[in-house]
Amino acid sequence: MNQRQLKSFEKLLRERRQELLTDAVRTVSGMNDSKDNFPEPADRAALESERNATLRIRDRERKLLSKIDEALDRIGEGTYGVCEECGEAIGVDRLKARPVTTLCIDCKADQEAEERRQRGWD
């Protein structure tokens, strides 16, 4: 990967990070605002399930946020785009589709096959 590509991934990751943080602030303030506006039990239940759904999304976004931070760290360290399993370069096309990935396509396929095997034993 050349320096220009690396810079564009850094920009992409920083923008995505900013979006996630902006959304997170908006959701938290939205949750506080609506808390007292639904005194009826039925509405409260609806609000509660809506909030649970929101928290599940938050959890997923929180994980993504930490992956983005790790990816930015790797850019700083000069290890971005290198597979952490085999040390080979991760294809630029794969990084474009999934900028936070730490595995090349082959190692990812191995990992998924392994996960499927483990699920089968449960």
Six token digits for residue 39: 């005194």
Q: Is 61 or 70 the residue whose CB approaches Zn ion more closely?
A: 70
Six token digits for residue 90: 């991760």
Backbone angle region of 2, left / alpha / beta, with phi > 0 → left and psi within -120 to 50 → alpha? beta
Binding range to Zn ion, per CB under 5 A, among 10-18, 32-40, 69-77, 79-87: 79-87
**Among the listed residues 31, 85, 91, 94, the single contact to Zn ion using CB under 5 A:** 85
Binding range to Zn ion, per CB under 5 A, among 10-18, 24-32, 56-64, 77-85: 77-85
Q: For 46, how many CA atoms within 13 A lie in the half-sphere containing its CB?
A: 8
Please give the residue ranges that form the binding site for Zn ion (CB under 5 A).
Answer: 83, 85-86, 104, 107
